[in-house]
A = this chain, B = another copy of it.
Amino acid sequence: MSSTSKRGLSEFALIAKLFAPLATAKAAAGLKDDVAVLAENARSDLVLKTDAIVEGVHFLKDDPPETVARKALRVNLSDLAAKGADPVGYLMVLARPAHVTDKWLKAFSAGLKSDQQRFSLSLLGGDTVRMPGPLVIAITAIGRVPKDKAIRRWGAKPGDLVFVTGTIGDAGLGLELLKQKRRSPRGPIEKYRLPQPRLAFGRKLRGLASASIDVSDGLLQDLGHIADVSRVCVEIDAVRVPLSRALQTAWGRDERATLRAASAGDDYEIAFTCRPDRAARVRAAARAAKVPVTQIGEITRGKGVVLLDADGKKIPIGRKGYQHFG
């Protein structure tokens, strides 16, 4: 069970305490991953993930309906990508307030259609409910992986390298810009509105990555989940965290900017680990998928996430950064 509520320690601890004991099936793995992996047949497993977006929290009321639809779908596809799964279909709940017009919904469904074609999946069913509050879109995505090939959170081993796709923090900057009613730079705003699930690359990570997670709650926080369930320490070199030019211009390129970027949510990149002897294959796969990847650190014995400065000293991670899960 993941949380995008940014409530910090107490929320994670509460979820772990209240809901992990309910995950009794093998497929749920005690909620140590944020997907369920259900044995399908002798050749394949199904990967199941549910995630919701809320008006005023994960998107803004005046965001285009097409991008709201696509974001609702993509935040789930991003999880499938991180597990190396191919999309199959999705179910959707629309909790619809009175201000959502038929015209808005028409554009919304056009957004879904466009992404269904792009990512090869189908609507499988859904429910609309009346909503005396903000619009909520809850999607459950279903993917498929070859038998036992889902990339889990718990396979990281000391000595493994840590990679991340794309750049970090842009969506957080995009949200900040939108809240300031600014319309440029476009890059970060686009990144906030329309994440790019790394499905083609995720598929190539099967059998290559030792652990993987999609970066949705902030890089440091999400790497913390890998650290926890793999029972290792994730050491990140601050200077290696990939920041876009737009972000460096807006927030700077010092440690503080890095910490801010690595604590911002909504990146929907993949953070993953691999054995050093597989790094060349990982880089080749990234080139083939035309996805930038950056090695940002390595796995060591210990626990938690450590952010190191250029001298190898620990940078203090404040309360807004990484929050421990258990």
- A residues touching B (Cβ–Cβ < 8 Å)? 1-7, 10-11, 14-15, 18-19, 21-25, 27-28, 31, 34-36, 38, 40-42, 46, 48-54, 56-58, 88-89, 91-93, 95-96, 102, 105-106, 108-109, 112-113, 116, 121-134, 136, 138, 140, 142
Which of B7, B57, B136, B142 is the one whose CB lies under 8 Å from A136?
B136
Closest to A13 in B: B102
- Are A138 and B52 within 8 A (Cβ)? yes
Give 4 new A-B contacts, CB below 8 A, not counting A28-B89, A28-B124, A48-B140. Answer: A6-B130, A54-B131, A57-B130, A93-B93
Question: Taking the nearest CB of chain B, how far is it from the CB of A33, in angstroms?
Answer: 8
Which of B48, B121, B125 is the one whose CB lies under 8 Å from A31?
B125
Which of B50, B108, B132, B136 is the one whose CB lies under 8 Å from A140?
B50
Which residues of B sit under 8 angstroms from A92, Cβ to Cβ? 50
- Looking at A23, A91, A96, the one whose CB has the most chain B CB atoms below 10 A away is A91
Which residues of B sit under 8 angstroms from A22, Cβ to Cβ? 109, 112-113, 116, 122-123
